[in-house]
């Protein structure tokens, strides 16, 4: 019953700047007799009906739809400029839902620099579902084109920037070429690293944009969630069918937490990004190889700038020595050693030992993923404290730190 026109999480035309849209909840997003300032949490599994045949209510069972979920989906659809948006239990659940649109015998083209969990799930479907997965360097459009098959290609899965090497794909060109050669294929983008605040991939030509809501959308690492935004009604209907059938929709309380987090996305991202730019400059000044599209020395600086409104707050750098990287990571104090990103507090990790450890070592070597790579997920702390803590960690690890002004 939740799949009605009144309940559809469809976007309205944007009227305000993004910072305002993030905070402003449309009046028709949820029906509340008491006009609560905060969207109510409808913590219920079922809804009473008025007729013996089970009809008469907008909702009947929270697996199919819930007013709190409708509120956050409507809001996210507006922010993402999607026809319709959905929220599910985790970011990986979002990808799992999308992959169910691919049938046995069809093919997926994906990047060769992917989040470890994405690689794990793609490996699973290739082994057990009869789906061929091609991993290519998506920064080279010709390599994507070489794998396109008008009949077999069903999904082209992109990350831009990629995780953890922060490489940039020309999403606009790839999407146009895929739709030209493979009309039935879907272009899907994991936009978690940028968030809808900095990058709108549906406007760049993607059919589906998805996020781990655990990251920037939530912002506090107190929530697990996934978000799916669809550009067209036809695809949205297919996605909703899978979510309803599998029961993967996000619970009411988590929907409320996600909605609360989205309201502060703008101010968090601006602060985190500003810190990241200074930290990238600091690390580059020390002579490290830094992967970050906000550096003018990055060969993809202009490409990224043409698709996004900012470089984001995740960067990585190479030290040239695994043991040195380990000492740096373990010597940090403000930077917590943890997986994930997008939280208000800063995080440091070695992807090959943590978030991407599930990718076999030989595969990491083939894909040129450096074992010494350190990933920084920058938070909202004062940039001088973060740089100071990195300076101390580098010094303790045996690095001679060069003077740097972060002003």
What positions carry a catalytic annotation?
Answer: 63, 115, 190, 215
DSSP 64-130: T--HHHHHHHHHHHHHHT-SEEEEES-HHHHHHHHHTTSPTT-EEEEESS--HHHHHHHHHHHHHS-
What is the torsional sign of CA 31, 35, 39, 43? negative
CA-nearest of 76, 68, 30 to 230 is: 76
3-class SS at 332? coil
Q: CA-to-CA distance for 376 and 226, rounded, in angstroms?
A: 22
Degrees (nearest 5) of the Cα angle 90, 93, 98?
135
Residues paired with residue 178 on neighbouring β-strands, in sequence order? none
Q: CA-to-CA distance for 114 and 166, rounded, in angstroms?
A: 10
How do strand 153-159 and strand 186-190 relate by DSSP bridges? parallel
CA 56 to chain centre: 38
Structure tokens at 46: 């079922």
């Amino acid at each position: 019953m939740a799949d009605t026109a009144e309940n559809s999480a469809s976007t309205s035309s944007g009227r305000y700047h993004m910072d305002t849209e993030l905070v402003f909840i449309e009046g028709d997003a949820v029906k509340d007799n008491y006009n609560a300032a905060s969207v109510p949490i409808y913590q219920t599994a079922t809804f009473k009906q008025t007729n013996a045949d089970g009809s008469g209510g907008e909702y009947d069972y929270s697996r199919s739809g819930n007013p709190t979920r409708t509120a956050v989906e409507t809001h996210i659809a507006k922010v993402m400029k999607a026809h319709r948006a959905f929220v599910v239990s985790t970011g990986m659940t979002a990808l799992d839902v999308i992959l169910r649109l691919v049938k046995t015998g069809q093919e997926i083209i994906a990047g060769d620099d992917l989040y470890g969990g994405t690689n794990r799930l793609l490996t699973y479907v290739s082994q057990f579902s009869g789906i061929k997965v091609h991993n290519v360097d998506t920064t080279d459009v010709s390599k994507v084109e070489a794998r396109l098959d008008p009949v077999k290609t069903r999904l082209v899965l992109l990350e831009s920037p990629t995780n953890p090497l922060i490489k940039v794909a020309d999403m606009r060109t790839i999407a146009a070429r895929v739709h030209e050669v493979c009309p039935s294929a879907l272009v899907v983008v994991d936009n978690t690293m940028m968030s809808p605040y900095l990058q709108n991939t549906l406007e760049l030509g993607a059919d589906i944009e998805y996020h781990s809501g655990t990251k920037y959308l939530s912002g506090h690492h107190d929530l697990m969630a996934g978000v799916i935004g669809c550009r067209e009604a036809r695809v949205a209907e297919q996605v909703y069918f899978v979510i309803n059938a599998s029961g993967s929709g996000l619970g009411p309380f988590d929907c409320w937490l996600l909605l609360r987090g989205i309201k502060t996305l703008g101010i968090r991202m601006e602060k985190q990004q500003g810190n990241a730019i200074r930290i990238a400059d600091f690390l580059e000044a020390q002579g490290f190889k830094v992967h970050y599209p906000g550096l003018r020395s990055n060969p993809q600086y202009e490409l990224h700038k043409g698709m996004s409104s900012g470089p984001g707050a995740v960067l990585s750098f190479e030290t040239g020595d695994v043991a040195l990287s380990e000492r740096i990571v373990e010597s940090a104090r403000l930077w917590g050693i943890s997986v994930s990103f997008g939280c208000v507090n800063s995080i440091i990790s070695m992807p090959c030992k943590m978030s991407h450890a599930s990718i076999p070592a030989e595969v990491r070597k083939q894909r040129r993923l450096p074992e010494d790579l350190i990933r920084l997920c920058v938070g909202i702390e004062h940039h001088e404290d973060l740089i100071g803590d990195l300076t101390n960690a580098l010094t303790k690890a045996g690095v001679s730190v060069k003077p740097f002004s972060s002003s």
